Structure 1
Amino acid sequence: MASLGSMVGRIYQAFSPSQLPPKKSDALKFGILGAANIAPMALITPSKSHPEVIIQAVSARDRKKAEEFAKANSIPEVRDSYEEILNDPNIDCVFIPLPNALHYEWAVRAVRAGKHVLVEKPSVSNSTEAEVLFNLPELSQPNGPVLLEAFHSRFFPAWSLFRSLIDHNQVEHVNAFSMIPWWGTSKDDIHFNYPLSGGSIMAMGTYNMAALRMALGAEPEECLSCDVHSYTDGIHDKCDYDFHAKFRFPNGAIGEASTTLKGPTYWTPSYLTVTQKEVVVPDSTLPASQTKLLKRKLTLHGFVHGIFWHRIDIHDEHHIRDNGSGKVVRRWETTENRKAYTFKEAGGEFADLPGEPFWMSYRHQLEQFVNKVKGRETQHWISGEDSIAQMKMIDMAYEKSGLGPRPTSSFHGK
């Protein structure tokens, strides 16, 4: 019961943080483009416990919706248009939680307006857009705008701990799974709107793709297969509602990713399993005629939203083999479980990094975004090159599926 109580308390505090720090005089003021459902969890709630962030304004295509959103989230200003937010010298940063197909245009506009940009993942619709966006000349200027793809899960302490346990040179297979129950989406959602760059690979699969890349510490060389189920009824055409893809990575490693937006009634936490090659373990207690071997399997349960629940399983298969006959003399297995809601729990090089047990991955992400904008060291970051590589992998899967990459924006304005 103590464990359940601590979990409930942690989650309650994550969404209703207490003992809020006073805002600093030089706090960054954010404008939000779009009254999106993800905005409270992704930025508004995390900002409450950050002394250097103020949510200043919001705009939506529907003024009434923006006003209702502002009132519900205590945002002081409502603007008539996205452009009005970008043109406001009092706004330092913008958050873009718009439908996927609009990310590119408004991220480009925001960067060109000199705003720091936090853009929801996937950052854009395809790698063509990513190449342009993340190579905008403004981003390479001294004291220029900061642009970050909001891949919140990669900032969570459990991710850092899990990655520290992986020997990238020994990985032979990685499997990543995520899902949303059937009742969590409907056919009319933007997930299933092709002109808005919908699809399960874009919605949840992007988490899986990032997980494979991080676990293997490399980029895929080829998509070997990508099986999808998709709609074929007009506006929903080419929108996959589930997929299973297999990739070949350097040194022959295989990565598999699967997700569904029409999963079973009961939600199943995401998981990432890394299987490493069998390796020789030096053991001076053994006779020269025997060799000790180890095969390790690592699993990170709950890699998407670790604040709710996660667990790292370290499963080791030990063998002692006779060198002459090749027979296994002895075999045993050990399993260890670890968790890391804070960097202190992650330990090692991460132990002194800031954070509280109630910090969601979004809060950790915001910490690093502010550090970057303020010119301070960032312990974790997602570079433009990384975001481009991420979209290339998504394109690779869509091309192999036969559905093709998501459409490129017609926006070419300055």
Structure 2
Amino acid sequence: MGSIISRVYWAFAPPEVEKQPDAIRFGILGAAGIVPMALIYPAKSHPEVIVQAVAARNRERAEAFAKTHGIPDVRTSYQAIIDDPNIDAVLVPLPNGLHFEWAVRALRAGKHVLLEKPSVSNSHEAEILFNLPELSRPDAPVLLEAAHNRFHPSWLLFRSLFDPADVTHVFTNSMIPWWATSKNDIHFNYKIAGGSLMAMGCYSFAVMREAFGAEPTACIDCTTHHYTDGIHDKCDWDFHAKFSFPNGGIGEATSTLRGPTAWKPDHRKFRTRKVTLHGYIQAIAWHRIDVVDSFEICTGDGHIIKQWTEKTSHKAYSFKEAGGQFTELPGESWWMSYRYQLEQFVHRVKNRETQAWISHEDSVNNMRMVDMAYEKSGLGPRPSGAFKAS
């Protein structure tokens, strides 16, 4: 328990380091609750990142947020952040339905963009955003969908324990406790792309696709519980989706925004090797990778002489703990997945080699998978906003 307390303490109260003269200056579009974990805390321990400015729906909210988190500048609008020549990059943690507009505006202003997941409202917006002409220039700004869990050492170690070609079944299970959401929050606002498939499905589908090393051929089934009250219609609070993959494998995902207070583990399953990663979204507090290998010795006619299993467990809060090919990579046991993500984002902005990344194609394909599930459920993909990129 002491190590858990220590990790979580330093994750939320990291040591502050001296900033380098060429540090990347971030502006934040919105004072969302995720911002401290997504950027403010990770930036404190990064010598090449400064959180310079914030804007919110009203200046009073922005000023209060800036005071709480020690942000030097407050701007009167999101556009003022983008127009500021002293800002190098922006974090877009706005409601899903606003991601497309403000990512496009920021990129066209030459700003690097760290874009909260899910990247946009639907696959149509994703195809436009991730194929903007501005992204194909030699000096193109960096655009990253912030699927933070895929940057943590535990995920990279987990991923090294199997070959996607051998995967036949993947199951993911996640939840947000019932008390952490309410019917009137953005998760249940259809106009701004709310729903549990958007909130949690984007995590599940991304790791499922990576585990199979392929894109799904079809959504076989998707069931949801959703509102029909005339106000929050088509917003799902839970889902169970099943997909087929090119090798004949099946991927399943289930999640709820009305989960119990007690945490429930998440799983990935394989036929002869069962690999389970407990805690794949927020690995900083606790996670464990369990590997169960099954063996049997048979005679020529198929008679089983002996059967046995071998079990091992792994943890990797840092790359040093992950061992092997990861040992020399930077990181501390108290780094959140957001901090590992920020490390890679800075590397890409500085034109350095990255050890983990989420490609533009990956982000587009993930939104296609979300749309497939919504279409199968009967609720339909989330609507696009009024903003047009052309």
TM-score class, shorter-chain normalisation, is over 0.9
CA distance in 2, matches of 1:327, 1:240: 50
CA distance in 2, matches of 1:338, 1:266: 23
3-state secondary structure, aligned to 1:142: coil
Partners of 1:108 and 1:133 within 8 A in 2: yes
User: Is the counterpart of residue 99 in structure 1 residue 114 in structure 2?
Assistant: no
Q: Deviations 1:347-404 (Å, cap 9, x if unpaired)?
A: 2222111101111100000000001001111111111111000000000000000000
> Counterpart of 2:330?
354
CA distance in 2, matches of 1:318, 1:205: 34
Once the two structures are superposed, the pairs formed by residues 375-386 of structure 1 within 5 Å of their partners are 375-386=351-362
> Counterpart of 1:273?
268
User: Is the counterpart of residue 68 in structure 1 residue 64 in structure 2?
Assistant: yes
CA distance in 1, matches of 2:30, 2:70: 15
One-letter amino acid of the structure 1 residue matched with residue 267 of structure 2: L
Partners of 1:215 and 1:274 within 8 A in 2: no
3-state secondary structure, aligned to 1:165: coil
- Cα RMSD, aligned residues only: 1.0
Report how far residue 408 of structure 1 moved. Answer: 1.1
> Counterpart of 1:214?
210
Report how far residue 239 of structure 1 moved. Answer: 0.4
Partners of 1:211 and 1:272 within 8 A in 2: no
3-state secondary structure, aligned to 2:298: strand
> Counterpart of 2:288?
311
Count of residue pairs the alignment pairs up: 390
> Counterpart of 1:411?
387
User: Is the counterpart of residue 333 in structure 1 residue 333 in structure 2?
Assistant: no
- Identity rate, percent: 63
Once the two structures are superposed, the pairs formed by residues 6-155 of structure 1 within 5 Å of their partners are 6-18=3-15, 20-155=16-151
CA distance in 2, matches of 1:71, 1:327: 72
3-state secondary structure, aligned to 2:247: helix
CA distance in 2, matches of 1:413, 1:367: 30
Q: Deviations 1:304-352 (Å, cap 9, x if unpaired)?
A: 000111000001121112222x222111122100001111121222211
CA distance in 2, matches of 1:266, 1:351: 33
Report how far residue 413 of structure 1 moved. Answer: 5.2
One-letter amino acid of the structure 2 residue matched with residue 14 of structure 1: A
Which entry has the higher C-alpha Rg, 1 or 2?
Answer: 1
> Which residue of 298, 303, 310 maps to 2:275?
298
3-state secondary structure, aligned to 1:24: coil
3-state secondary structure, aligned to 1:275: coil
Report how far residue 222 of structure 1 moved. Answer: 0.4
Partners of 1:231 and 1:240 within 8 A in 2: yes
CA distance in 2, matches of 1:234, 1:225: 25
CA distance in 2, matches of 1:265, 1:120: 25
Report how far residue 87 of structure 1 moved. Answer: 0.5
3-state secondary structure, aligned to 1:265: coil
Report how far residue 11 of structure 1 moved. Answer: 1.0
Partners of 1:209 and 1:393 within 8 A in 2: yes
User: Is the counterpart of residue 252 in structure 1 residue 248 in structure 2?
Assistant: yes
3-state secondary structure, aligned to 1:106: helix
CA distance in 2, matches of 1:178, 1:40: 22
Report how far residue 206 of structure 1 moved. Answer: 1.1
CA spacing shift, 1:165–1:413, aligned 2, 3 Å: closer
One-letter amino acid of the structure 2 residue matched with residue 272 of structure 1: H
One-letter amino acid of the structure 2 residue matched with residue 10 of structure 1: R
> Counterpart of 1:344?
320
> Counterpart of 1:180?
176
> Counterpart of 1:170?
166
One-letter amino acid of the structure 2 residue matched with residue 363 of structure 1: R
What runs of 5+ residues in structure 1 fail to find an aligned partner? 277-294
Q: Deviations 1:233-256 (Å, cap 9, x if unpaired)?
A: 122100000000000001101000
> Counterpart of 1:388?
364
CA distance in 2, matches of 1:89, 1:344: 39
